[in-house]
Amino acid sequence: MSHRFLYQNMIGAGTVITPSSVSKAIVGGAVPRVANGAGAVIFSGAYTGQDQEVYTAEIETQGQVGSATFKWRKTSTPPGAWEASGLPTALTDTALDHGVKARFLNGASSPAFQAGDRWQATASQFRSPKMLHDLDPNTRWRSGSPPLGAEALAFDLGAAQAPDAAVILGHNISSGAAVKLQAGPDPQAYALLLDGSNSRAVTTDAAAIQNIWDGGGSVFFRTKLMTAGESNLGCFFGKGALSGLAKGWGFNQGTQFGTFRPSFHCIFTGGEARHLGPDAMFTAGVAASVGLSYNSDNPNNVPAIYKDGASQSISSFGAPTGTRVSDAGTNLATGDRVDGITSLDGWMDEVKFYNRVLTAQEFLGLHNGILPSDHAASCVLHLKFDEGTGTSAADSSASGLSTALQDSAAWTSSIYSPLDETITWRAGMMSRYLSTAPRSHRYWRLLIEGDGANPAGYVEIAELYLGGYFEPAYGFAWRNVVAEEALERGQETENGSVRSVLLNRGRRAVLPYAHVSAGQKGLFLSMFQAVKDKGAERNKPLFAHLDVNDAGSLFLATLAGTFSPAEEGPDDYAFELELQERLT
């Protein structure tokens, strides 16, 4: 039996948390701040933001509804800036953001609105994912209602980190749901799902992606293939009208040349250049990263193909001559050919096109989530496919190109997650000590699948811990005393007297440590100082696991006593830790 203390949560105020859904919140009524005109504003909507925001609508030009214009901002808008301006007032709702709307009403006198008239409304969110790390078990993140079939909380830790443990406290997840902790080098959100029959994403042609191989170009993406795809030739990318080999290029795979064998071709005025990667380069159901670089300035040039950052062998066919035939004027298809007859069966994610040849080291870096140093300048198309809803995919590059999902193309929560560990379900609190190695990643995700019919109509979690732990070394007395007790608090009554209020029943543990080394004493002291909130004159809660072999002995606690080590010998210390369960 051993103890562990979990007190350094990597999820904090600076963590970007993206929920797949969040409970809708309220928008308060409009409060006039300046109202020289007789008109009025009505704010409405179901707020979906994560933080409380005060929305301000201000009249820019006077007039009646329809002729007057307005601008708006919110608390988080930079000082002196506005989210939008010059907007026409209307009797119908104008969408602001995060579900908040505003409409305008004429008054008894004209003009209804004077320049500078201003109204404010507060949008409050009590179920924000930011409640997950506030160490208050009474505040909770709550999903939308009903919950999605795959609810997820995605975390950007800002830099690669390697936590050792995860704890989920105060949840209502159903026992039949699958709960997973996942992590990887890319944002853990969604991917483009292709059905191997009739699906693709199409990027409207633009100068940035025309003749991408001229002078050298590159593409990187992740994929998981389920079958060889439509016509046994599922296509990764296609650009150009392929009928009669008129022009364009394509990158596909399939069984026409082997088993899951990649094939790249480019059309020249004197024929087609075709290059094959190794046979069986892909395995059904196994995710892989793929890289390709090529220079079309010479028809005899050979592309470089990479899988998971490693260079692959190439076999070339044909003896093309002349110059590359321009693909300008044709769209770029992802997951299919432009004519829609070779749909991929599987998913694609994190598509990045570059206007130069990347090095082998850069492809390895992309596989590990490291962008080239000139990514902002050389990346001309970056499709993260993280939307998860709708039929548009944003281009994160400076090009800002338009991409639309077509036919049966959809979203999937199945993505590349080299860390993928299942958390065993327990009512109230569940936990897992991570075993994947190595496990240093920037992007993490808690995925809850199969709880779309949760009896409560939503999924909620009070606290989520992702971090390390301190496990004291052996050599101290195992005389821990654990008891259940009634926790009480004094409350002042109306007449000023104080009465004891029974709050709940919680656990109390007294852990006497003897013969602790100087090094161990220092570690205990570091923990004590980390959880001591001197400003608030309180101890921050921590998770205490009294017996790592007993999941039921893990609880959220505070250090109730002081840290007073007594020297027993030249290098030995003894002290006592008192833990009290944090229930309110």
Say which CATH architecture domain 12-18+128-188+417-458 belongs to. Sandwich (2.60)
Contacts (Cβ under 8 Å, ≥6 apart) of 304: 291, 292, 293, 294, 311, 314, 357, 360
Strand-strand pairing, 101-105 and 40-44: antiparallel
Position 501 pLDDT exceeds 70: no
* Dist. CA 459–CA 442, nearest whole Å: 25
* Dist. CA 296–CA 462, nearest whole Å: 56
Higher pLDDT, 458 or 514: 458
Is the distance from CB of 23 to CB of 142 less than 8 angstroms? yes
Residue 481's pLDDT band (cuts 50, 70, 90):
low
Position 398 pLDDT exceeds 80: yes
Is the distance from CB of 228 to CB of 361 less than 8 angstroms? no
* Dist. CA 265–CA 184, nearest whole Å: 32
Instruction: State residue 8's pLDDT score.
Output: 95
* Dist. CA 403–CA 202, nearest whole Å: 5
* Tens-place pLDDT, residues 234-250: 999 999 865 555 679 99
Instruction: State residue 533's pLDDT score.
Output: 76
* Dist. CA 429–CA 414, nearest whole Å: 26
* Tens-place pLDDT, residues 252-297: 999 878 899 999 999 999 999 999 999 999 999 999 999 999 999 9
CA dihedral 398, 399, 400, 402 (to 10 degrees): -160
Higher pLDDT, 222 or 573: 222
Position 180 pLDDT exceeds 50: yes
Residue found by looking up tokens 């059905």 in the block: 195
Which of the residue ranges 189-203, 408-422, 510-524 would you say has the lowest mean pLDDT? 510-524
Is the distance from CB of 533 to CB of 544 less than 8 angstroms? no
* Dist. CA 124–CA 55, nearest whole Å: 11
Say which CATH architecture domain 472-581 belongs to. Beta Barrel (2.40)
Q: What are the tokens at 427? A: 């009512």
Mean pLDDT across 425-448? 97
Is the distance from CB of 366 to CB of 352 less than 8 angstroms? yes
Is the distance from CB of 58 to CB of 74 less than 8 angstroms? no
What does the angle CA 423 – CA 427 – CA 430 come to, to the nearest 5 degrees? 30
Give the side-chain half-sphere CA count within 13 A for 366: 32
Whole-prediction pTM: 0.85
* Tens-place pLDDT, residues 325-373: 999 999 999 999 988 999 999 999 999 999 999 999 999 999 999 999 9
Mean pLDDT across 534-549? 85
Residue 461's pLDDT band (cuts 50, 70, 90):
very high
Q: Which of 417-431, 495-509, 524-538 is predicted most confidently?
A: 417-431
Position 485 pLDDT exceeds 80: no
The amino acid occupying position 311 is: S
* High-pLDDT (> 90) share of the chain, %: 76
Phi, psi of 379 (to 5 degrees): -80, 120
Position 503 pLDDT exceeds 60: no
The DSSP element (H or E) to which 315 belongs, if any, is: strand 315-317
What ranges do the domains of the chain cover?
12-18+128-188+417-458, 24-124, 192-412, 472-581
- Hey, do 12-18+128-188+417-458 and 192-412 end up sharing a CATH topology, with the first three levels equal? yes
Higher pLDDT, 573 or 405: 405
Q: Is 357 exposed, middle or buried (0-12, 13-18, 19+ CB in 10 A)?
A: middle
Instruction: State residue 173's pLDDT score.
Output: 98
Rg from Cα positions in the chain: 30
Give CA separation, 375 vs 219, 221, 355, 381, in Å.
Answer: 12, 15, 10, 10
User: How is the chain split among helix, strand and coil, in percent rounded to 5?
Assistant: 5, 45, 50
Q: What are the tokens at 564? A: 């007073």
* Dist. CA 252–CA 577, nearest whole Å: 63
Is the distance from CB of 75 to CB of 135 less than 8 angstroms? no
CA dihedral 547, 552, 558, 559 (to 10 degrees): -20
Contacts (Cβ under 8 Å, ≥6 apart) of 298: none
Instruction: State residue 246's pLDDT score.
Output: 65
Instruction: State residue 384's pLDDT score.
Output: 98
Is the distance from CB of 566 to CB of 574 less than 8 angstroms? yes
Instruction: State residue 28's pLDDT score.
Output: 87
Is the distance from CB of 346 to CB of 195 less than 8 angstroms? no
Mean pLDDT across 154-180? 97
Position 81 pLDDT exceeds 70: yes
Calculate the average pLDDT of the chain. 92
Which of the residue ranges 65-69, 115-119, 136-140 would you say has the lowest mean pLDDT? 136-140
Tell whether domain 192-412 is in CATH 2.60.120.200. Answer: yes
Residue found by looking up tokens 């004209």 in the block: 110
Instruction: State residue 478's pLDDT score.
Output: 47
